[in-house]
Amino acid sequence: MTTPAPTPAEPPVAPPGALSPRTLAVSAGRPARVPGAALNPPVVLSSTFVSQGTPAAGEHLYGRIGTPAWEPFELALAALERTDHEAAGLPVTGPPATVFASGMAAIDAALALVPVGGRVVVPRHAYQVTLVLLREQAERGVLRVDQVDVVDTAAVVAALRGHDGDGSDGDGPAAMLWLESPTNPMLEVADVPALVAAAHEVGALVVVDSTFATPLVQRPLALGADVVVHSVTKYLAGHSDVVLGATLADDPALHARLVAHRTTHGAIAGPFEVWLALRGLRTLALRVERAQATAGELARRLAAHAHVVEVRYPGLPDDSGHARAAAQMDGFGAILGLRPVGGVPGADALVAAVALWVPATSLGGVESTLERRRRFPTESPTVPEDLVRLSVGIEDVEDLWADLDAALSAAALSAAARSTGAREGDTR
């Protein structure tokens, strides 16, 4: 009698908490490891699923409610943010990450957690469309908004408590603290742990838009935040070819509300876009590490450049946010802000003069881009008119520097020529 060969055992799998985020970006969200299985999850192109009677827990019914097309990406992102799958009810509700059709759809879902009439404390410098949405909702009476200088921790705490300057009760405690750290586009760094603690003391939810940092540089849930928001369009997907967003929440009730908002409001992601985002996520560590190293080198050179008035980058030792960033982040990101000589004309001339850098909005792609932010009328009025935001990609640092240096020199010459022409005109 022949004894059947034993079935090969599954190789041991290290728990997610034991793996580096750099490893999880590659390994999380893979199909089950069985002989003959695909290494990558498939693109599931189905709007509806076979179902009769009451769907069982975890059973797919309809593409707006849930689909296998989303789950591998959501699992991978949840692993990167170190969320607690079991506490979030993974078998029933899926991973505690929720993918949306866009970053703004994710932001809208997070803001929907605010009760009607509740007050949101938000940085005065934040993504301009977030501020537009908040302003629109305030005008309709959906919520109230207080903008604060997020660097001033005491002022933020006072706004959270709702106290007037004389210590008397003002508007009452806030319902939500919305944070960006670093902020867009000013690169300010908030004291996230202190502000989270202050918000929770008054019963406020804390949402952190962590698009700039990515989970490789900062994990707000570990710092006590309730919800994390990402524009997946940026670094997570990383190739300027999809528009997606995501939220993450460890608390099962918050996660369920975010999923319900997506289901009811219909801001769902397309299967192919999510598949592309997962493919992009696999190289996140390489892209972020390369871009971040290049950004640090460019920031150092720009800080000493004769044609640069100011550089904003938390990785610079003399940057006002450096100490906070070093304490609560695993790096300093790959976004820079600079103000060239010549004011707004100089900034516009710089953007027009680059040959390798791409004049474009958005950020986080493999290509390096730059733009003058105040060209948008909805940008915060306290952002300098001549601030140019740079998103550093993965090109060779010397090529990027040569292009930027030449463009700065050309912009300075243009500004000098305009100044000379203006003086000559005054004498005529």
Catalytic positions, written as ranges: 64, 127, 209, 234
Distance CA 117, CA 65 (A): 29
Strands (E), 284-356: 308-312, 335-340
Q: Quick check: helix, strand or coil at residue 312?
A: strand
For strand 119-123 and strand 144-148, is the pairing parallel, antiparallel, or unpaired? parallel
In DSSP notation, 356-367 reads SSEE-S---SSS
391 - beta bridge partners?
335, 369
Element (H, E) at 424: helix 397-427
Largest CA distance in the chain: 112
**Contact status, residue 316 vs residue 299, Cβ threshold 8 Å:** yes
Distance CA 112, CA 247 (A): 12
Other CB atoms closer than 10 Å to residue 113's CB: what's the count? 19
Where do runs of H (alpha helix) occur along 167-270? 192-201, 214-217, 252-265
**Contact status, residue 181 vs residue 209, Cβ threshold 8 Å:** no
Question: Which strands form 369-372's sheet, in the order they lie side by side?
Answer: 308-312, 335-340, 388-391, 369-372, 358-359
In DSSP notation, 206-229 reads EEEE-TTTHHHH--GGGGT-SEEE
For 427, the token pair is: 């004498």
Distance CA 416, CA 349 (A): 12
For 310, the token pair is: 């100011």
Strands (E), 318-398: 335-340, 358-359, 369-372, 388-391
Q: How far is CA 90 from CA 30, 60, 78, 101, 292, in A?
A: 16, 14, 11, 22, 33
Distance CA 176, CA 118 (A): 8
Residue 73 main-chain phi, psi, to 5 deg = -65, -45
